[in-house]
Structure 1
């Protein structure tokens, strides 16, 4: 579910972003390409440098996912509130961790399912994400076109940045789900440790 929410927002964000910056800032294709370069470079650095460092210090996958969600939420809010083009570049830097949740959530799933079921689980995830991406593209592009009409009752002063505020709200709703999953993981780890200690104790008593 968390991966589907992330996919829904990410696809919608990307499908409307070029339309957004052209309409609000009159960007050229070259300017948008420079922005994409900055954004993707930040994501690469987060994945190959920051993520291994966080794992090195034994930060849980779900905590890293939460950092990524918060990073993306802040970036979306900046997109929606931006009045100047350079703010979009700042948003790209702030949201550089937005690619880490996909990696860490998949890692967490692989650690909590039986080995023989991993292939089935990831096949199901890929299928649902593909469907989610199509629905997201249709939904956000239509919503964006509606947001250009300032008379729409739900748009208010948000204008064509409304789609990004909506995306941020959806990701905010996902944060309690991450925390809930993290608590379940911690409880499961404690139970596994207790079983392991009990088993080791029985083996020691048998040997003696």
Structure 2
């Protein structure tokens, strides 16, 4: 089973991740809601365990966004908020189950196994498109119009992030986390340098620029400025 754990508390996360791995499961861990949103949208998971109180994007908003984007992964809320209204709110947001902290790992495991047995209708997206730009995630290929675009692995990941958030602003911090797995600012122009190279390959020679700088915010991939 492949499980995504979205939990910002290091001790709780280690407890869950290590326990699941000891039972033979493959586990990915996201430390905040924004990172979890990208990972849940970019990969296929059997179950996601989501802390409700997360930095950068709270658990309720995270689950709502994923459901709006068509992600059907079974989702278990893990939280300190145990009131009836809290449970209802979590389930109404798109959660499938709700477990209150503190909890016994045996109960968590049983709930995860139960969720994984449920049939899902998740459609895994393998081709991303924006205007005449196309990315095939299985073939690891990119083309614009009839022209193939050769990208380095980091450039491919950078473009994938932009395409998954097409039409929306992707901040520098988001890119550092999702592309380089930096959870701090390295105080370098690494994002700007790679973005410049990516622009040269994706936009140069075409009539319409797709990658736009949003001054003071980040970058956005869209057909119109």
What TM-score, normalized by structure 1, do the two folds share? 0.24
Task: From the two aligned structures, give the one with the greater helix fraction.
Answer: 1
Task: From the two aligned structures, give the one with the greater strand fraction.
Answer: 2
- Return the index of the structure with the highest Cα Rg: 1
* Greater RCO structure (CA 8 Å; 6+ sep): 1
